[in-house]
Amino acid sequence: MRASALRPWLSRCASPTPAMPAMVASQKQARWSSHSPLGSPPVNLRKKVTLNTLQSLHRKQEPITMITAHDFPSAHVADAAGMDMILVGDSLAMVALGMEDTSEIMLEEMILHCRSVARATRSAFTIGDLPMGCYEIAPEQALESAIRVIKEGRVQGIKLEGGVEMAPTVARITRTGIPVLGHVGLTPQRQNSLGGFRVQAKTTTGALKLLEDALALQEAGCFGIVLEAIPAEVATLVTRKLRIPTIGIGAGNGCSGQVLVQVDMSGNFPPGRFLPKFVKKYGDVWGESLKAIELYKSEVKTGIYPAPEHTYPISKEELTEFEKLIEDKTFD
């Protein structure tokens, strides 16, 4: 039987479908396919975290919590967990895109990830990293990049690396009303000039330079500063000298808050992967995911999945009619 021979029968059997209210259609479609994992809003939705919120936490000496996210699911869970800040860090170049280091990622790629994170975030204050090459040439270049991250990436602020030399750039951006989070100490975008990923401010000279950088960023208008990979004692002393909060990563608990890369702290990596000294592994996302996927593979191979409860029904009459039509027939 040719497929064309079925058309008259199909047109006779097709019954008009009444118009379905948009809400009902949407609900049914949600059952029929994969869809946004955002789900229903929490019963007790947190108030939106703003700069005023962060400043209040700092005044009360309540530690500020910050974590990275690189897409909708990672931002969704971070926001649900109650993070104060979510950073779309350029570390996603390695942990999400498989690149060698942060120098590879482009501004357009960062904006794409910022938009994904922003869609999932309802309460946390969101920050987007300015990647290497989009802000160092001149303050005007940096401002243009920052505006794109805010407008297109839909985050609330930006982060950039550098100290005294970046102060004029920070001042140019903050004058337009864009919040800037500074970053000193180990600055990964400059790892080649630092001799690799090495601890900074281990000498008196280095510690004084770090303090000078932090003070310059504060005066330029940064609302906070990330201190990365420096001795805890130095971070504590620098934090005490500043009016703005510090966010530590490998800088001890004397900072105003802490940040970690979500992939690292959640254990979303295979055994044997290098982990920086400052990272505490709070979960085993890789292990749990691996078990789930291996079980899925096994059940598909053995025919256990999909079970009847995972399939859609058809009435016996319609199935009998269909079987009768195709019995002993061939299709071109």
Q: What is each CA distance from 54 to 203, 214, 315, in whole angstroms? A: 31, 18, 59
Please report the pLDDT score of residue 173 as a whole number: 98
Active site residue 161: no
Q: What is each CA distance from 2 to 213, 264, 329, 330, 332, in whole angstroms? A: 78, 58, 9, 7, 6
> 20-46: per-residue pLDDT in tens?
444 444 444 445 666 666 666 666 789
For residue 327, what pLDDT band results from cuts at 50, 70 and 90?
A: confident
C-alpha 106/C-alpha 146 separation (Å) is 13
Sort 132 into a burial class: Cβ within 10 Å, 0-12 / 13-18 / 19+. buried
158, two tokens = 């930006």
pLDDT at 5 over 60: no
Contacts of 154 (CB under 8 A, 6+ apart): 114, 115, 118, 119, 126
Q: For a pLDDT cut of 70, what percent of the chain falls above it?
A: 84
Strand partners, 125: 85
pLDDT at 90 over 70: yes
Given the residues 62, 144, 228, 321, select the one marked as catalytic. Answer: 228
C-alpha 114/C-alpha 87 separation (Å) is 9
C-alpha 105/C-alpha 94 separation (Å) is 9
Q: Is the dihedral of CA 115, 120, 126, 127 positive or negative?
A: negative
C-alpha 283/C-alpha 280 separation (Å) is 9
Does the predicted model carry a pTM greater than 0.75? yes
> 127-177: per-residue pLDDT in tens?
999 999 999 999 999 999 999 999 999 999 999 999 999 999 999 999 999
Strand partners, 86: 67, 126
> 223-277: per-residue pLDDT in tens?
999 999 999 999 999 999 999 999 999 999 999 999 999 999 999 999 999 999 9
C-alpha 158/C-alpha 331 separation (Å) is 60
Q: Could you give the angle at which helices 107-120 and 139-151 cross, rounded to 10 degrees?
A: 40
> 47-88: per-residue pLDDT in tens?
999 999 999 999 999 999 999 999 999 999 999 999 999 999
